[in-house]
Amino acid sequence: MYPFTYHRPASLDDAKARLSASEDGRPLAGGMSLLPTMRFRLTSCADLVDLNGIEALAGIERGDGHVRIGAMTRHAAVVESPEVGEAIPALAALAGSIGDVQVRNRGTIGGSICFADPAADYPAGLLGLGATVNTDRRAIAADDFFTGLYETALEDGEIVVSVDFPVPARAGWAKFGNQASRFAVVAVMVSLSGGSVRLAVTGARSHVFRVPEMEQALAGDFSAEAMDGIAVSSEGLNEDLHADKDYRAHLIGVMAKRAVRDALAQ
């Protein structure tokens, strides 16, 4: 690691003040992604502001038509939450597919979406469910939050406080994960609400994206068979030692159908 100054604020206001005072400060959530990149000197910061001591940033509550999850809520807490399990079981399934037991007990939803790894699961959960990201400054729709490879709409010093997930009529999750890391090679979250369908894909491009052709087909007939004949172009898809772009294009169709079947089985 490159040298840095470590801070552990006790409140959100304290964290904001420390980030504002730093020319190169970064907030630390679970650290499952940020710390390894710092250890390998792929990234650095002058000040690391640890949010783990701020209890107000964690927790899950059921509201009127939505579930609010605090940014510092661990993946394991989402898996075990009665509120999430009852309202959006597909979201609990998503959280349960992240990493291993150690990662799920340390990693947080806020850290995951802010790091915006192209193979992370939560970005598909947010985009596929039409979530809203609440920060200390504003509310950002999931459609506007993820902007590129490891890039989001967050401004310097902006801190994610919570995420609001609308409760859908149906939602399904399907993932083809790397056997070693359990990152998504391709994963899909689909949801149906009032005749409107959202289908989001992670692992296949530089950042999470929706597939309008599949959404339109499912809006008319919410069944796996409705997507027969719909092919996603391999142009611009990721290609690495785990899967080439043509295989990822094929997997999108397969995972989309599995996600729909999962939604219908809920």
pLDDT of residue 266: 85
Which residues 6+ apart lie within 8 Å of 217 measured at CB?
226, 227, 230
- Cα torsion angle, 76, 81, 85, 87, sign: negative
pLDDT of residue 230: 97
β-bridge partners, 25: 47
Q: Kindly report, as residue ranges, where domains of CATH 3.30.465.10 are found in the chain.
A: 58-265
Radius of gyration of the chain measured on its C-alpha atoms: 18
pLDDT of residue 213: 98
Residue with tokens 């799920």: 104
Which residues 6+ apart lie within 8 Å of 48 measured at CB?
4, 5, 6, 7, 25, 26, 28
Measuring CA to CA, how many Å separate 13 from each of 105, 125, 135? 26, 29, 13
Q: What letter does residue 176 receive in the DSSP assignment?
A: E
- Domain 58-265: which topology? 3.30.465
pLDDT of residue 72: 98
- Cα torsion angle, 252, 152, 94, 63, sign: negative
Query: Residue 40, class by beta-carbon neighbours within 10 Å (0-12 exposed, 13-18 middle, 19+ buried)?
Result: exposed
- Consecutive 10-residue averages of pLDDT for the chain (266 residues): 96 97 96 96 96 97 96 98 98 97 97 97 98 98 98 97 98 96 97 96 98 98 98 96 97 98 96
- Domain 1-50: which topology? 3.30.43
Q: Kindly report, as residue ranges, where domains of CATH 3.30.43.10 are found in the chain.
A: 1-50
pLDDT of residue 241: 93
